[in-house]
Amino acid sequence: MSYLAVKDASKQFGGSVRALDGVSFTVERNEFFTLLGPSGCGKTTLLRSIAGFADLTAGSISLAGTGLDSVPSHKRDIGMVFQDYAVFPHLTVAENVAFGLKARKVPAAETAARVAEALATVRLGAMATRLPAALSGGQQQRIGLARAMVIRPKLLLMDEPLSNLDAKLRIDLRDEIRDIQKSIGIAAIYVTHDQEEALAISDRICVMNAGRIEQIGTPQEIYADPRTIFVASFVGTMNVLPREAASHLGMGPDVESGRAHQLAIRPEHIRLDQGDVAPDSIRLAGMVEKYTYLGREAHVLAQTPAGKIVVQLADPSPTLRMETGSPIPLAFRRQDILSFDSSGMRLEGRGN
Amino acid sequence: MRVSFWTLVSIFAWLMLIALLVVPLGSVLLSSLQDQAGNFTLGNYTRFAETPRFRAAFVNTLIVGFGGLVGSLLLGSAMAFCMARIEIRGSRIVSLLAILALVSPPFIGAYSWIVLFGSGGLVRQTLMSWGIFIPPIFGLWGILIVFSFKFYPYVYLLASGALSNINRSLEEAAESLGLTPFQRVMKISFPLVLPAISAGGLLALIHSIADFGTPRLIGRGFNVLATEAYTLYSAEVGSNLSMATTISIVLIMLSMLFVFGQRYMSRRNVYHGNLINKPVKKKLTGFRNVAAHGVVYTIALIGAMPAFIAAIYSVRRTSGPVFHPGFGLESYRRILYNLADVVQNSLMFSFATVALIVTIGTLIGCLVARKMSVNTSLLDATLMVPYVMPGIVVGIAFVAAFNAPPLALTGTAAVIILSIFIRRLPYSVRSSASALRQVSPSMEEAAISLGYSPARAFMKVTVPLILPGIVAGGMLSFVTAINELSSSLVLYVGSTATMPVRIYIAINDGDYGTAAALSTVLLVLSSTAIYIAFRLMGRDERALL
Ligand SMILES: Nc1ncnc2c1ncn2[C@@H]1O[C@H](COP(=O)(O)OP(=O)(O)O)[C@@H](O)[C@H]1O
Ligand SMILES: [Mg+2]
């Protein structure tokens, strides 16, 4: 029996909007599980159904062996962290954190100890007596996190908790969230539309699109072995080419037979042919259209017979010049090409 | 539990609106469609259209309405522009003066202008002794001056808010595209603040149309619909209720027309301000600086003048209605000995009204803000109606509805309290709904996820957060309630006279000392309430509108 099990969850708003369409997955104890998908795909709806703030049209949810269907949200014992922090502005930092303990009638001494511990964990010990309005966004979200954790919930839900913060803080705080989750050993569901965040933080990722699950897997599986064209293009950068490009990519008659609808290859799997590539490589002559220098890497947009292709160059030399229109020979391996059928499903497993 | 509670609130709200709005308005309409014998007729409307006196009143109402609108727009936008874009010394004092103009009841304004510029007015007499003749202020021009200086804060407060919220980059972008400063103002700034200006102008227009005290006191034969309705209703001999109700219907239609007209006009143009890239105030020098200060301070001081005049005249020595040189407290003594019951009435009625408004307004506000449905939108829309009903109409409607069993309320305190309550309720509903909308729903959800039931989460989180706003709103309702004249004037009997009613009577009797002292008491009470409100919710002049 899984710790959290969502079965065939569907949610319909009004007449036509299907926010969730037959979603099933499980989350284990201690697992960091991420819902990833573009905005509007139903992540928030799913999370709120688990928390009990929204009723499913169909389907069931069970947590730690008991069905949640008839449990009101305030009795579910599920901690929640909100995108807009939802920190109580009329209470001090410590009172915010103690709020859930009061409802549980935890004795005063124990409350004080647990609040102090939780504040120390999120590095807000010095701010205990302040009002939240005086704190930065990152600090407010730390209050939100401490407040949800201190009640030792059965499950922690986080709905895009970092999306209102600036980039640098987002990276710091996401690592902190990850460390805290592992150190207290709690099952967590994390919602984000940022694929890089999902890859960095998760044990497993569930990629969603239009109310359905596209794929569930570890970050490695999601990135390197996408099962659908949607996952392939949503996570990371992907060159997607039409089937007509197949002949230029050295693909055999099995593809010609017509099952492949789209072909895809990651920019980092294409390299410049400087006469040093493996003999079984496929070569493609291209012409530079645009060169973008990004420091750690550089992107070349090349016009080729197969279509426009982005190539990623690792650690580009600062003196490297690529003039628009100059020829650029490309090479890649056959097994790095992914092919998808007309319904967007992957056709064959990864070669290696 | 919770669902059924809000259903109860909804049912109660509708019953209340039926009793206090639909029935009185229905009675007014019914009465306007009946002849003396009670038969159906359109005769009253025909008579209204054919009688020169009523036609004149109709035209006059439009004249004072649009005159008040134009005057308020001129004064209000000039002041708004100077205050929002130019560094004005003592700008806090200026906006205090604007608030003073706003909260002092219009009839005090009329009174003070009479004291200075009436036939025997102080300024007029002085000028005459220097050989300069100006006509006494009575008549159309008097009304327009009073309205302009009384209602300009509506335009000023809304427009200055909008002006200082325009993203600076928009104006800079226009400048960088080669527009001259004048073109920039006309093409960028003006369209952006137009919705605010038109909303302020509408408030000035509606109040000008509805106001009864000013044309009554200073008009001297210049009659408008509100005064005609009152005359017809209150005539000792030949009181004509059905003609009074006919005029009331016309007056409501007129107000409605303007409200919906303004809504229609500014519907497309809602611009959201910004809080980051605010425009900076320019520091002017030399003549232009003096001119800007001159404009601002002239408007502000003249607007607040009635309050000062009332305060000064309240401590002049009097014997009976006659002023003597020097100062004394006779007027206050007279209030203490003869008019204590009037002060007491005013306070009691106002507190009762505020208690009703706060509880019922908050409940309906929660309903409207949280339970979105056809029912609540309809409720919200229906509440717009009392918002545009002139006080005199509410008074007459309550008489028409409640002067016979089963609801024979005329002459009671309850009828005065309810009449003020229903007029102020829309503000309270709106303000508590908007206070509630400011509280993110995730705040309550956070409490629920931490183990509080929905009802406890509401009490523990939402109520403390909206409480200051609600108390502040109550204070502002108190200001409105205690200054209310026109509906009370229709509904009062000897034992239920209020301060505004008594001031009106005193001015009519020429007892200016008593009027000044009562007005000062009113102003002090109002200012205290506003001070408390601003302390609670931060200083936000626009909450007064
Ligand atoms: N209360 C609601 N009423 C109607 N439609 C809704 C409501 N909440 C969400 N939706 C719709 O459901 C879909 C999924 O929304 P949501 O779960 O918020 O997506 P996400 O969190 O992934 O951005 C969207 O199309 C949204 O418009
Ligand atoms: Mg969302």
CB-CB neighbors (< 8 A) of A79 in chain B? 449-450
With respect to residue A265, please indicate whether it lies within any of the assigned structural domains. Answer: yes
Q: Is A274 helix (H, G, I), strand (E, B) or coil?
A: coil
The torsion of the CA quartet A95, A98, A99, A100, rounded to 10 degrees, works out to 170
> Residue B420 has what pLDDT?
92
Closest C-alpha among A23, A153, A172 to residue A100? A153
- Judgement on whether residues A119 and A263 belong to the same structural domain of the protein: no
Is 50 exceeded by the pLDDT of residue A177? yes
- A258 vs A141: which has the higher pLDDT: A141
Q: Would A351 be classed as within a structural domain?
A: no
Q: Residue A280 — φ and ψ, nearest 5°? A: -85, 5
The answer to whether residues A34 and A154 belong to one domain is: yes
Pocket of ligand 1 (CB under 6 A): A 13-14, 17, 19, 37, 39-45
Whole-number Å distance, alpha carbon A163 to ligand 2 midpoint, is 10
pLDDT at A352: 36
* Same domain? A259 vs A219: no
Q: Please count the residues of chain B.
A: 545
* Residue B406, preceding peptide bond in cis (omega within 30° of 0): yes
The reply to whether A86 and A222 lie within a common domain is yes
Rounded Cα–Cα distance for residues B202 and B189 (Å): 20
Mean pLDDT of A317-325: 88
- Among the partner-chain residues A79, A83, A90, the one whose CB lies closest to the CB of B449 is A79
Residue A161: per-residue pLDDT: 94
Q: Are residues A103 and A220 in the same domain?
A: yes
Q: How far is the CA of B275 from the centre of ligand 2 (A)?
A: 25
- Give the residue on A whose Cα is nearest the Cα of B461: A88
| Rounded mean pLDDT, A234-248 | 89
- Out of B442, B453, B464, the one facing A82 most closely (by C-beta) is B442
- Say if the Cβ atoms of A88 and B446 lie within 8 Å: yes
CATH code at B52-306: 1.10.3720.10
Residue A303 lies inside a defined structural domain of this protein: yes
Residue range A326-343: mean pLDDT, rounded: 91
CA distance B102 to A48: 47
What's the pLDDT score for residue A174?
93
A162 and A258 share a domain? no
* pLDDT exceeds 90 at position A253: no
Identify whether residues A210 and A304 lie together within a single domain: no
Ligand nearest to the CA of A43: 1
Q: Are residues A164 and A272 in the same domain?
A: no
- pLDDT, one tens digit per residue, over A136-173 is 999 999 999 999 999 999 999 999 999 988 888 899 99
Closest chain B C-alpha to A50 CA, distance in angstroms: 11
* Residue nearest ligand 1's atom 5 by CA: A13
- In chain B, which residue's Cα lies nearest the Cα of A90? B465
For chain B, residues with pLDDT lower than 50 are: 1-2
- Position with higher pLDDT, B425 vs A14: B425
Does any domain span residue A352? no
Q: Tell me the CA–centroid distance for residue A45 and ligand 2, in Å.
A: 7
Shared domain check, A202 and A57: yes
Strand partners, B269: none
Rounded to a whole number of angstroms, the CA Rg of chain A reads 24
**Closest chain A residue to the Cα of B468, Cα to Cα:** A90
- Domain B1-41+332-545: homologous superfamily in CATH: MetI-like (1.10.3720.10)
A51 and A44 Cβ atoms separated by less than 8 Å: no
Residue where a domain stops, chosen among A170, A196, A231? A231
Q: What is the pTM of this model?
A: 0.77
Place of tokens 């239609």: B253
Is the pLDDT reported for residue A324 higher than 60?
yes
Shared domain check, A246 and A204: no
Domain positions in chain B are 1-41+332-545, 52-306
Q: Residue A154 sits in a domain of what CATH number?
A: 3.40.50.300
Same domain flag for A29 and A106: yes
Both A208 and A278 in one domain: the answer is: no
Q: Considering the domain boundaries, does residue A255 fall inside one?
A: yes
| Chain A residues with beta carbon closer than 8 angstroms to that of B537 | none
Instruction: Kindly report the protein residue whose alpha carbon is nearest to atom 4 of ligand 1.
Output: A13
Structural domain for A247, as ranges: 238-340
Tell me, what CATH number does A296's domain have?
A: 2.40.50.140
Quote the number of domains for chain A: 2
Separation of alpha carbons A210 and B505, rounded Å: 71
Mean pLDDT of chain A: 91
